Structure 1
Amino acid sequence: MSARVLVVDDLFTNVKLLEVKLTAEYFDVVTAMNGPDAIAICEQGLCDIVLSDVMMPGMDGFELCRRLKGSPTTAHLPIVLVTALDQPADRVRGLDAGADDFLTKPVDDTALLARMRSLIRLKAATDELRARVIGSRTLGTNDPFVAATVETGQNGHVLVVDDRPGSFERLKAALGAFHTVEVESDPHAALLRCAEGGIDVALVSLNLRDFDGLRLCGQLRSLDRTRDVAVITLAEVEERARILRGLDIGAADFLVRPIDRNELIARVRTQIRRKRFTERLRESVQSSLELAVTDGLTGLHNRRYLDVHFDALFKDAVRRNAPIAVLLLDIDRFKSVNDRFGHDVGDAVLREFATRINSLTRGVDLVVRFGGEEIVVVVPEASLQDARMVAERIRERVCGSPFQAGPAGGLDVTVSIGVAARQAGDRTPAELLKRADIALYQAKGGGRNRVVAEAA
């Protein structure tokens, strides 16, 4: 897996050494000798991961990390800090600054490359979501990139998978002050619990009795319902090969026993922040998709949605030789409502119109604001007679009681409806809509407040 790695170090020999090693592993390498230059490179989107020394003059690695993670433009970049500092407090300081990992010199090349590939895979999983959000987002308090910079990573839901009471009790005690913690000794039950949803992080012991913890990691990564759970493996110091294998399988991080309490808290917090960032991106994309196919005034689907889904419903009906019908509805004399009472009242009438139609249609029916005061209802599995009955119910519901339209009080509203059903010779849904439009025109010409079905 290739990626663009930014190497940051104030010593030229260190930069060149890492550049040679990474280039040999087919990474593209860019370099910076200080923090400000590194920030400039990151803000231009010229790297996928940052590998930075800690001890640098001016802006050290901790401060560089804080600034990158504190900016909506660069908060998504994975950062690995490399230093000669080897105390747990130093690792925690780096993690608190927002680093995704903290490696101590001399760095084992295999461990470094495994960690980098793992972080790059995690980043790649969110890059497409980020691109879609960037293309459609609106700046403001709901901006997911801004939210990422203030996310605390607290109040998560953690599942500890460990069958040694002394071990899981210490883990639960350390994390319980910040998160909801569950313990599951049975790996099969743990998998089912994660599949139920709501788990942010799973701490998986690689020393389970009668079960390979790496297999559970692989299962969590492979299932649709569990692949978003962040997995942190727990291992003994001599299990280096299994730790690296876990990263290769898809574990997000690891902890080596004896586990430092503060490092445990910091690494879990980092994974929760990352998971929530991805969830916000996904929600933002979904919201953008909904806005793209939803009419903002009525809450109904819009014409773009109709163009795609009516075509699919029509083709399915043709394939199965099944009936399908369409209703085209138009509020009678709607222009006079706007002229007499203003567009605010007209908008209120349209919203109530949509609500009454929705109350008489099924979940499988397609209800769309076609334009202005016109609404289209596509009724699958409906004959012409069935569709006419639906149209009559809607007409009666619309004219049956006044519309409460704000200052205008109760307004009497009627609707004309044209109905058409699929015929054997129809090749496109446009032919149904054309006949429904002609029928609607006849309903208008015949006195309004009526249903006309299947005009020639």
Structure 2
Amino acid sequence: MKILLADDEPIARTMLEHWLVGWGYEVTLARDGEAALQALKDDPELRLLVVDWVMPKKDGIEVCKAIRNGPQEPYVYVVLLTAKDDKSDIIAGLDAGADDYLVKPCNPLELKVRLRAGRRVIELQEQLVKARESLRFEAMHDSLTGLLNRGAVLEQLTKELLRASRHGAPVALLMGDLDHFKTINDTHGHVAGDAVLRETARRLKAGVRAYDSVGRLGGEEFIAVLPECDAKTGLAVAQRLCRSLAESPTTVGGKPIAQSISIGVAATDQYGPARAEELVRAADAALYRAKHAGRSRALLAIDKEFEAVKEISQTIPASLPAE
């Protein structure tokens, strides 16, 4: 594990470095407080710090305060070394942000076990960060497909529309629905149906740009938010996605299962400034036409669908259907 040793006194620094290397640490040296803070900034893997109180430029107390006033992740565990042994000094050091405090000259075994305790704290903090990231991911993503879930993708649509209104760039919305998915479930079973949903999600994600947002609304319904994309380009993307789904089946248990998708497209360069629910309704109307036109195709929302959306928006509160 990497460790930063900050001490301006050459003999003490050499002795401490010898101990730390012998205990298996990869040691970075700093001769003053400013150098210590720069080393932490340059290398985020430095999570353990042994720092002397009395140093030039910035002392150990100032270093502790700077660390605690900066980014809280990744957490840096600080052991403060000093010849000061008054209780008020110990309190001042801990209050400045040190995690532990050792009086010089320190016992090497005591320093070793205190650093071991510091490593445990760091490991626990890393576990907490991973758990929090996992919870955040689960809160925003569909558990079956790994795509954004309904709430997250509609929130992203709202953000992109706000950004577009500021910068004048178009946003295209694709609403997709797998064709005859109930038949797939009834014929091949729900395990196969889940496999088709996962493969559909994979192909949809692979068929758009890295900064586009793809989500699952629920069941066999999918949505894609394409920023800086006009209606013509959005329709071309949707047609490409339809071909991607129809051209090759999903293989489950050695058996091919054919699938296709119908997609409705609506874009702000057709409609003008729009709320998320208005664009969703327009794309959904185009999807409905695509289904009735024979499925496995993409259609663009037309003027009368946008006009119907405007009429609805004027008569009912702005809200999307509940999940």
Contact 1:197-1:226 within 8 A present in 2 as well: no
Asked whether 1:305 is paired with 2:188, we answer no
Is the contact made by 2:47 and 2:74 (CA closer than 8 Å) also made in structure 1? Answer: no
Match of 1:171 in 2: 16
- Trace 1:41-440 onto structure 2 (pairs within 5 A): 156-187=1-32, 188-195=34-41, 196-209=43-56, 211-224=58-71, 228-237=75-84, 242-408=89-255, 410-422=256-268, 423-424=270-271, 426-440=273-287
SS state of the match for residue 163, structure 1?
coil
Conservation of the 8 A alpha-carbon contact between 1:379 and 1:387: yes
What is the CA–CA distance in structure 2 between the aligned matches of 1:223 and 1:289, rounded to whole Å?
Answer: 23
- 8 Å Cα contact 1:235/1:255 also seen in 2: yes
- 339-348 or 240-249: bigger deviation: 240-249
Contact 1:236/1:256 (8 A) holds in 2: yes
The alpha-carbon deviation at position 221 of structure 1 amounts to 2.3
Closer/same/farther in 2, CA of residues 306 and 444 from structure 1, 3 Å limit = same
Unaligned runs of 5+ in 2: 306-323
Range 190-199 or range 217-226, more displaced:
217-226
What is the aligned partner in structure 1 of residue 309 from structure 2? none
| Cα displacement string for residues 12-53 of structure 1 (whole angstroms, at most 9, x for unaligned residues) | xxxxxxxxxxxxxxxxxxxxxxxxxxxxxxxxxxxxxxxxxx
Contact 2:265–2:300, Cα closer than 8 Å, also in 1: yes
Quick one: structure 1 residues 232 and 226, their matched pair in 2 at CA, closer, same or farther if it must change by over 3 Å? farther
CA shift, 1:244, in A, is 3.7
Residue 85 of structure 2 contacts residue 103 of structure 2 at CA under 8 Å; is this kept in 1? no
Instruction: Provide closer, same or farther for how the CA distance between residues 282 and 225 of structure 1 changes in structure 2, counting only shifts above 3 A.
Output: closer
Q: CA offset at residue 314 of structure 1?
A: 1.7
Q: Match of 1:432, as an amino acid?
A: L
Whole-angstrom distance in 2 between the partners of 1:339 and 1:157 = 57
Q: Distance in 2 between matches of 1:360 and 1:424?
A: 25
Q: Structure 2 CA distance, aligned partners of 1:183 and 1:242?
A: 27
- In the alignment, residue 236 of structure 2 is paired with which amino acid? M
Supply the distance in 1 between the matched residues of 2:267 and 2:56 (Cα, whole angstroms): 65
Secondary structure class of the residue paired with 2:103: strand
How many residues matched?
Answer: 300
CA distance in 2: counterparts of 1:310 and 1:198, whole angstroms? 36
The amino acid of 1:174's aligned partner reads W
* Counterpart-to-counterpart distance in 2, 1:250 and 1:384: 55
| Structure 2 contact 265–283 (Cα < 8 Å) conserved | yes
CA contact (8 A) 1:416 1:450 kept: yes
How far residue 236 of structure 1 moved from its aligned partner, in angstroms, is: 0.7
Cα gap change, 1:239 to 1:213, in 2 (>3 Å)? farther
CA distance 1:427–1:385, change in 2 (3 Å): closer
TM-score (norm 1): 0.61
Unaligned runs of 5+ residues in structure 1 are 1-155
Cα distance, 1:269–1:318 mapped onto 2, change above 3 Å: same
| Counterpart contact for 2:52–2:59, Cα < 8 Å | no
The 10-residue stretch of structure 1 (269-278 or 206-215) with the greater mean CA deviation from structure 2: 206-215
Q: Does 1:445 align with 2:309?
A: no
Q: Deviations over 1:221-277 (max 9, x none)?
A: 222277721111110145766544332221111111110122111221222222222
User: Over the residues paired in the alignment, what is the CA RMSD in angstroms?
Assistant: 2.2
Residue 176 of structure 2: SS of its match in structure 1? strand
Match of 2:82, as an amino acid? A
Shift of 1:384: 0.5
What amino acid is aligned across from residue 211 of structure 2 in structure 1?
Answer: V
Aligned letter for 1:283? K
- Cα distance change of structure 1 residues 285 and 454 upon mapping to structure 2, 3 Å threshold: same
Q: Give the TM-score, by structure 2 length.
A: 0.85
Decide whether the 8 Å contact of 1:157 with 1:179 is kept in 2. no
Deviations 1:92-126 (A, max 9, x none): xxxxxxxxxxxxxxxxxxxxxxxxxxxxxxxxxxx
Equivalent residue number for residue 6 of structure 1: none
